[in-house]
Every structure is written in structure tokens, then in C-alpha cells.
């Protein structure tokens, strides 16, 4: 370790918070040239530690891409020559290291006590053995460097990177230095919003200060307000101002189209074994065998569309918003279509018994279809067919009432701001037969299927409550009632 060492700090002299940390994300949250830290905690709220003023000594950020696609060059080496140390400092393009840590795929160099105005950057790609050297990179710069197209073992030297991101920082709004005479200004970290007084029309102005962490500048905004006269809505318009939870009347021409418990629409005619409802495929390979063959992936394969695991979780939530065809537990069908597991399957038959079966539940049937009725079997969709966040609010008023606080339009949360427990014991899918009152509750009863789905339900539920807070803060909305706030937040969230 040489002359380096550790110095123990007295916790009593520091402002510390003690949590059970379960992951850390290191990134430039404010895009101002210094690194901030976000910590996810077990059974507690996450914490964001903002690095205020950490960019005062300057920085250089380098994003490294592959030659032909906009994909980060994971594993590339980035070197910055330090005139003060008279040697190169290296960064590897990778996620952050540490306990369950993640980070940006950007090489970040804090310049500290460096006094030079420009620096030399060298990027090396181990896969292609290519090197790019860029001279005269100015401090407080963010640059993008791309691998050399169509070459291996090449060295290219230039005074500019292959692509440049403007070397400026994101300005943050600090305060309103001069208030408007005929309205109010709401300040956010990256924006300001002007709200004119209710009866005002004409010209108004205000000033606000912005800062990049080093200097401060004042901006002047001039606004002109014109009053728009609109006729009062009729009683019928008021009654249908917001979409119903069950989606009835979403389609004025076909009012019941897309409501719950309607048959799914077909793009192709059915192909039942007997022409009515007998499943086909009894002589085909097990779906698990097909899955094992198709998904036999021995190495990491990058998505050509630049998709990641989040798209899978989001896709499942979106599917739950528009589709739910399996029957409820209290009216299971007699069709048991278990999927045989191949002997020695590493996940489902690790002991090689060859007797494992994966449970498969057939879709619910439209009671007026099938062989007894002389028509092909049709499948029921138990939720609305619209993208309307029904998985958050439910498809009927009864479930929605369980989810709502009935105050300020908000949804119920536990004290740590996650989904509420299912204390009312509304219908919930419980695959592991856990304690029913310990299951979380949301608009869709499949919310507890897997952690990624729970996280997204929690995210959208928090967003709903955040929208309610923002609506109440807007001038003129102070007396908005619970129902109006709930419906407005629902509209914004689904939009």
C-alpha cells in the first residue's frame, strides 16, 4: 500500500444514516461533471447522495462506442495523460465495482489539482487491438470516441474525437431572483414553470438564477398571457369526462369493445384438433424441450436492438395491462395440460427423475362457445384490452376503492412508500401459498409473481402519488377534491 492508509472517523461527528444496503449505483445524476451515489436499501427507502461542487476542479468524461453500432465498448481501456504526474491514468469501461454495484459505462476523470487546460486521451480496444489517440481535449469536456471502422491492429491520432458531445455542463435552476407581478413561478431542479393569476391577461416577466456548480447566471423570462374563453361543459360531458375503469364507452361506436370478460379477437381462424376445442400438438415435442434448444446460450449475446432485461419486466407489466386469460382459482377447468420436463433438466429436474411436470392452466372459455355449442372455443380476457393502467387501478370500482386512500387522490402505500399489504384480502395470485395478508396488492392480482413486476408496480404507484402532489401545488388547484385529483393523476399516468 506504500504510504497510503485509512483514518477512522468518529460517527458522532458525521451526519450518517444507517441502512441495510443492497446495491449502489454510481453516476452523474445532475450531468454536471461529478459523480453521485444512489443506494438501494433492504426494506427501507433508497438514498441519493448528491455530489455538490465536486466538479469545481474540472473533469473529462469519455464515452467509448463500437465501430458500427451505438453500443458501449465494454472492456475498452481509456488513458488520460497527467502533466502533473507525468504518467497516464487508466480507466476501464465497465460497470462500477463493489457490493451489488452498477454505474455508467463512461470513463470519468476528476482533474483534481491538474493545472493544464488540455489533455491527451488514448483509447484501446482489446477485441480489435485498435488505438485512438486524441490530443488537446479541454478540461470540463465530455467526448465520445468510436472504434476504427473496418480495421484491426490500427493506431489513429487526431486532435478531435470521432464524435463530440458539447463540453458544457447541465445548468441547474437555483432560485427565482425576481418574482412575476401577476403570477407564481414553481422551481424544479432543471426547469421553471410560470402560472398566471386566475384573472390576469397581459404581459409579465421574472428572473431566475442558474448554475453549473462553478458560476451563476441570471435569465430573464418575458411572457404574454391571453385568456381563452371556453363554454361550460354539459352535464353529459361532465359525467363522461374521465374514462371508466371497465373501459365501457372508450369506443363510442362499440361501447362494450375492450371491456373485461369479452372474448379475445382472432387474427387467424382456430385450428383445434376436433374443430371445436380439443388442443393440438399432442404428437409434438415438449415446449420445455423446444425452449431449452432455442435458448441454449453458452455466452453473452448482445441484443441487436440494444434491449436489456428491463424490457422483459416492462413487457410483462404491459401484457398484464391488456391480457389475462387464465381462469380464476374458484372455477378451474378440468383441462390439465401439464408440460413434461425432460429428464435431467438443470432447473426443473436436477435429480434426473424424468417424472417432473410443469403445471399449465388452459385459458378460460367463453361459456357460449365450444363443442357443446357447435362453435369453436373462444378465450375470455378478464381485464380491459386498452393500455389504461388497469394493472394499477383495477377494472372495477370495488378493487379501486381498496387501493385508494380517498384523500388527495392518492393510492395506499406502506410507511416505506411501497405497495400496501393485501389486508382486505382481495383476489390475488398466490403461487407459493404464502400468508395472504403479507401479499402486496395492486390493480392486477398477478403483482406478486416476481420482484421485477413488484418494482414496476411500485414505481407507477409512486408516480401517481407524485402527480397528485404536483397538481395540488399548482395555483388554483388548492381546493381540488379527492376524486378529481385521482382521475387527473390516472389520466397523466396512463398517458
Work out the average pLDDT over 102-111: 88
Q: Is 151 helix (H, G, I), strand (E, B) or coil?
A: coil
Report the C-alpha dihedral over residues 274, 279, 280, 284, rounded to 10 degrees. -150
* Lowest-pLDDT choice from 169-173, 200-204, 241-245, 247-251: 169-173
- Residue 99: exposed, middle, or buried by beta-carbon count in 10 A (0-12, 13-18, 19+)? exposed
Whether pLDDT at 190 is above 80: no
CA dist list (Å): 432 to 335, 435, 436, 445, 449: 22, 9, 10, 14, 9
pLDDT band of residue 76 (cuts 50, 70, 90) is very high
Position 9 scores a pLDDT of 64
pLDDT band of residue 4 (cuts 50, 70, 90) is low
Q: Give the burial string for 395-420 (b: 16+ CB within 10 Å, else e).
A: beeebbebbbeeebbbbbeeeeebbb
The pTM for the full model equals 0.53
Looking at residue 420, what DSSP letter applies? P
Backbone angles phi, psi at 357, to 5 degrees: -130, 130
Q: Assign residue 333 a region (left: φ > 0; alpha: ψ between -120 and 50; beta: otherwise).
A: beta
**Which tens digits make up the pLDDT trace of 333-360?**
556 688 999 998 888 888 889 999 988 8
Whether pLDDT at 420 is above 90: yes
Position 40 scores a pLDDT of 82
pLDDT band of residue 166 (cuts 50, 70, 90) is very low
**Which tens digits make up the pLDDT trace of 453-487?**
999 999 999 999 999 999 998 888 888 899 999 99
Mean pLDDT score across all residues of the chain: 84
Answer for the pair 487, 457: CB distance below 8 angstroms, yes or no: no
Distance of CA 414 to the CA centre of its chain: 21
Position 91 scores a pLDDT of 92
Q: How far apart (Å, rounded) are the C-alpha atoms in residues 212 and 206? A: 20
Position 408 scores a pLDDT of 94
Neighbours of 12 (CB within 10 A): 6
Work out the average pLDDT over 114-129: 92
Q: How far apart (Å, rounded) are the C-alpha atoms in residues 326 and 361? A: 7
Position 385 scores a pLDDT of 92
Neighbours of 383 (CB within 10 A): 25
Position 168 scores a pLDDT of 45
* Lowest-pLDDT choice from 135-139, 188-192, 435-439: 188-192
Instruction: Name the residue with higher pLDDT: 392 or 14.
Output: 392
C-alpha cell, 488: 387527473
Q: How far apart (Å, rounded) are the C-alpha atoms in residues 148 and 152? A: 8
- Residue 145: exposed, middle, or buried by beta-carbon count in 10 A (0-12, 13-18, 19+)? buried
Angle at 458 between CA 452 and CA 460, to 5 degrees: 105
Residue 314: partners with Cβ closer than 8 Å, 6 or more residues away? 456
Report the C-alpha dihedral over residues 388, 394, 397, 402, rounded to 10 degrees. -140
Work out the average pLDDT over 293-318: 85
Answer for the pair 418, 458: CB distance below 8 angstroms, yes or no: yes
Instruction: Name the residue with higher pLDDT: 172 or 295.
Output: 295
Position 3 scores a pLDDT of 55
| Overall size of the chain counted in residues | 495
Neighbours of 203 (CB within 10 A): 11
Q: How far apart (Å, rounded) are the C-alpha atoms in residues 140 and 60? A: 6
Q: Assign residue 406 a region (left: φ > 0; alpha: ψ between -120 and 50; beta: otherwise).
A: left
* Lowest-pLDDT choice from 109-118, 150-159, 397-406: 150-159
pLDDT band of residue 395 (cuts 50, 70, 90) is very high
DSSP per residue, 355-388: --EE--BPPPB-TT-BGGGTB---BEE-S-SSSS
> Percentage of residues in the chain with pLDDT exceeding 70?
86
Q: How far apart (Å, rounded) are the C-alpha atoms in residues 240 and 233? A: 11
Position 2 scores a pLDDT of 44
pLDDT band of residue 412 (cuts 50, 70, 90) is very high
pLDDT band of residue 11 (cuts 50, 70, 90) is low
Whether pLDDT at 495 is above 70: yes
Instruction: Name the residue with higher pLDDT: 45 or 405.
Output: 405
Q: Could you tell me the end-to-end alpha-carbon distance of the chain, in angstroms, rounded to an integer?
A: 56
pLDDT band of residue 132 (cuts 50, 70, 90) is very high
C-alpha cell, 73: 465498448
Residue 473: partners with Cβ closer than 8 Å, 6 or more residues away? 186
Q: How far apart (Å, rounded) are the C-alpha atoms in residues 348 and 351? A: 9
Work out the average pLDDT over 355-378: 84
Amino acid at each position: 500500500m506504500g504510504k497510503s492508509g485509512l483514518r477512522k472517523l468518529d460517527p458522532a461527528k458525521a451526519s450518517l444514516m444507517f441502512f441495510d444496503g443492497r446495491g449502489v449505483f454510481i453516476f452523474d445524476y445532475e450531468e454536471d461533471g461529478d459523480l453521485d451515489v444512489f443506494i438501494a436499501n433492504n426494506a427501507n427507502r433508497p438514498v441519493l447522495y448528491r455530489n455538490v461542487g465536486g466538479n469545481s476542479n474540472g473533469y473529462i468524461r469519455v464515452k467509448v462506442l463500437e465501430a458500427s453500432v451505438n453500443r458501449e465498448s465494454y472492456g475498452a481501456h481509456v488513458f488520460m495523460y497527467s502533466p502533473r504526474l507525468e504518467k497516464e491514468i487508466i480507466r476501464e469501461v465497465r460497470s462500477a465495482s463493489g457490493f451489488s454495484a452498477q454505474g455508467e459505462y463512461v470513463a470519468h476523470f476528476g482533474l483534481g489539482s491538474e493545472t493544464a487546460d488540455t489533455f491527451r486521451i488514448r483509447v484501446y480496444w482489446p477485441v480489435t487491438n485498435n488505438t485512438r489517440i486524441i490530443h488537446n481535449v479541454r478540461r470540463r469536456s465530455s467526448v465520445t470516441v468510436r472504434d476504427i471502422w473496418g480495421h484491426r491492429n490500427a493506431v489513429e491520432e487526431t486532435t478531435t474525437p470521432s464524435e463530440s458531445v458539447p463540453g458544457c455542463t447541465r445548468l441547474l435552476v437555483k432560485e427565482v431572483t425576481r418574482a412575476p407581478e401577476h403570477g407564481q413561478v414553481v422551481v424544479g431542479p432543471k426547469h421553471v414553470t410560470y402560472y398566471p393569476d386566475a384573472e390576469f391577461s397581459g404581459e409579465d416577466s421574472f428572473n431566475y438564477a442558474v448554475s453549473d456548480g462553478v458560476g451563476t447566471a441570471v435569465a430573464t423570462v418575458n411572457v404574454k398571457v391571453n385568456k381563452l374563453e371556453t363554454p361550460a361543459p354539459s352535464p353529459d360531458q361532465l359525467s363522461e369526462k374521465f374514462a371508466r375503469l371497465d373501459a365501457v364507452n372508450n369506443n363510442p361506436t362499440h361501447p362494450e369493445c375492450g371491456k373485461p370478460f369479452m372474448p379475445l379477437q382472432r387474427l387467424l381462424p382456430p385450428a383445434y384438433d376436433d374443430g371445436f376445442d380439443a388442443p393440438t400438438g399432442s404428437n409434438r415435442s415438449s415446449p420445455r424441450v423446444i425452449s431449452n434448444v432455442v435458448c441454449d446460450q453458452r455466452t453473452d449475446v448482445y441484443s441487436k436492438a440494444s434491449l436489456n432485461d428491463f424490457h422483459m419486466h416492462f413487457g410483462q407489466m404491459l401484457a398484464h395491462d391488456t391480457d389475462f386469460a387464465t381462469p380464476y382459482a374458484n372455477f378451474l377447468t378440468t383441462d390439465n395440460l401439464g408440460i413434461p420436463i425432460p429428464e435431467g433438466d438443470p432447473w426443473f429436474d436436477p435429480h434426473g427423475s424424468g417424472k417432473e411436470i410443469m403445471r399449465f392452466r388452459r385459458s378460460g372459455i367463453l361459456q357460449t362457445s365450444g363443442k357443446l355449442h357447435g362453435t369453436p372455443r373462444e378465450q375470455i380476457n378478464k381485464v380491459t384490452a386498452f393500455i389504461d393502467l388497469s394493472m394499477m387501478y383495477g377494472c372495477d370500482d370495488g378493487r379501486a376503492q381498496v387501493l385508494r386512500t380517498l384523500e388527495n387522490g392518492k393510492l395506499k402505500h406502506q410507511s416505506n412508500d411501497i405497495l400496501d399489504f393485501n389486508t382486505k384480502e382481495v383476489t390475488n395470485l398466490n403461487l407459493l401459498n404464502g400468508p395472504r395478508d403479507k401479499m402486496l396488492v395492486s390493480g392486477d392480482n398477478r403483482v406478486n409473481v416476481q420482484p421485477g413486476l413488484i418494482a414496476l408496480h411500485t414505481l407507477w404507484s409512486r408516480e401517481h402519488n407524485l402527480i397528485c402532489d404536483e397538481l395540488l401545488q399548482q395555483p388554483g388547484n388548492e381546493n381540488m377534491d379527492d376524486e378529481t385529483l385521482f382521475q387527473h393523476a390516472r389520466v397523466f399516468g396512463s398517458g
